[in-house]
Amino acid sequence: MTEQHRLVILGSMDEFVELVEQARERGIYTIVCDGYEDGPAKPAADKAYLVDIRDTDAVARICHEEEADGIIASFSDLLAECMIDIADAAGLPAYLKPQQERYLREKTLMKQMFAELDIATPRSREVSLDRLEEGLSGLQFPCVVKPVNGYGSHGVFVARSAEEVRERFAEAASQSSFDTLIAEEYFEGPEFNIMTWVVDGTAHVLSVADRQKAPFEEGEVPQVVRIVYPSAYTTLVADEAADIATKIAQYVGLENGPLCVQAFYDGEGGLSVCEAAGRIFGYEHELLALTSDLTVEELLLDCVYDSEAAKAKVEGHSCRLSGCAAGLYFHGRDGQVADTEALDALAIQPGVVEYLPYYRVGDTISHKKGAKPYAARFYVQGKSREEVDTASKAIFDGASLRDPAGNELLYTVDADEL
């Protein structure tokens, strides 16, 4: 009789429920760990711990005490980084070691890597507060200014002058362990999320998706409001994307596992890469399942327990996906929610396959650190891009959340401008 596998999963929010359920269907004993007491994946697991995943030693002890033989995390830089550190401390296998993963987390090292590999990337500088003007010399404004190793979009802003960078320098740097920032020239061309999986050192493109953004407030980075699978540019950029991701994988020593890239396309010049990450994009991997026979959860589990199965799935997959799907991400202003009726009604619109409201009546939308990432999220599906665009427009046009005074809490999105 085969001994039961025991798997530690870092993360318990909604996107982890399917991973836990698939692991249990395989007969794997699941142990979910994170700092969310009411994470929806915890009731689905065999065992759950309330623990700060940044406490490497504490989670490593749990791994030893539970006699875990595997560990998984994905969907965010923080989770992936913690997983790699914990695996190293606990003696568990992982697709990267901490020293390798640094090139996919610290933007100064990442830019150095891109330069050495001759990968096009938006022009940037590492800048310090005491020599700010000197550091910014040669860059054209507007610039995106970001922490060196921050998470998500915390501390990221658009600056149109050196003075704006100076005014917000301390706030942005507080989101990082570095006292410097990265200033990067702003690129306005088509933008993509490119999901790849590395097999034996070679990256295979799982998907190329259009990453569509909208500006909400002056000086803030435009926020992602829609991700569309597949991209209209897939055929044009897929081969170049695979070559770029393979170069990155081989540079950092990633032999088998996830590698995702954010890039721009400028037509004649091809792809310009802004970031690479050793994880799968969060809140959109579900779109791959809606447009293909491949699921990220299966790949993550196979990466730990059945590498040959992962290899077969990846090599048999085409990034020229069937059908079309999109994720719509709604952002809200701070305030108390009093009326969700209009937003809730959109859940039965044609094409909607999932609706996830993050706030209900009486809840307060907040942008404090650790707050929920969106006000609401929709997934829509159709046989064509035209069907998905039509469904998306109906949702964007009809979406509304009101506070007790009747004021609109959602930032509006003009679907015609996407």
Report the b/e string of 242-279 with b at 16+ CB within 10 A.
bebbbbbbebbebebbbbbbebbbeeeeebbbbbbbbb
Do 263 and 227 fall into the same domain?
A: yes
Rounded CA separation 408/44 (Å): 36
Do 315 and 244 fall into the same domain?
A: yes
- Provide the CB-side half-sphere exposure for 301 (13 A, CA): 22
Domain assignment of residue 169, yes or no:
yes
For residue range 89-127, what is the model confidence (pLDDT) as tens digits? 999 999 999 999 999 988 889 999 999 999 998 888 888
Measured from the Cβ of residue 411, the count of other Cβ atoms closer than 10 Å reads 17
Measured from the Cβ of residue 160, the count of other Cβ atoms closer than 10 Å reads 13
Average pLDDT for residues 320-334, to the nearest whole number? Answer: 95
Do 159 and 212 fall into the same domain?
A: no
For residue range 229-240, what is the model confidence (pLDDT) as tens digits? 999 999 999 999
SS3 label, residue 192? strand
Please enumerate in sequence order all residues whose Cβ is within 8 A of that of 341, keeping only pairs 6 or more positions apart, or say none: none
Do 176 and 217 fall into the same domain?
A: no
Average pLDDT for residues 214-243, to the nearest whole number? Answer: 90
Peptide bond into 222 cis (omega under 30): no
* Beta carbons of 320 and 309 less than 8 angstroms apart: no
Domain assignment of residue 116, yes or no:
no
Q: Which among 165, 185, 205 is the end of a domain?
A: 185
Domain assignment of residue 351, yes or no:
yes
Domain assignment of residue 108, yes or no:
no
Q: How many domains does the chain have?
A: 3
Q: Which domain holds residue 148?
A: 123-185
* Entry pTM: 0.89
pLDDT recorded at residue 370: 61
Do 391 and 363 fall into the same domain?
A: yes
Do 313 and 349 fall into the same domain?
A: yes
Domain assignment of residue 40, yes or no:
yes
Please enumerate in sequence order all residues whose Cβ is within 8 A of that of 145, keeping only pairs 6 or more positions apart, or say none: 156, 157, 158, 159, 165, 168, 172, 181, 182, 183, 184
State the DSSP H helix or E strand holding residue 252, giving kind and residue range, or none if neither. Answer: helix 234-252
Domain assignment of residue 101, yes or no:
no
Domain assignment of residue 81, yes or no:
yes
Question: Looking at this protein, which amino acid is placed at residue 140?
Answer: Q
Domain assignment of residue 99, yes or no:
no
For residue range 257-294, what is the model confidence (pLDDT) as tens digits? 999 999 999 877 799 998 999 999 988 999 999 999 99
Do 212 and 180 fall into the same domain?
A: no
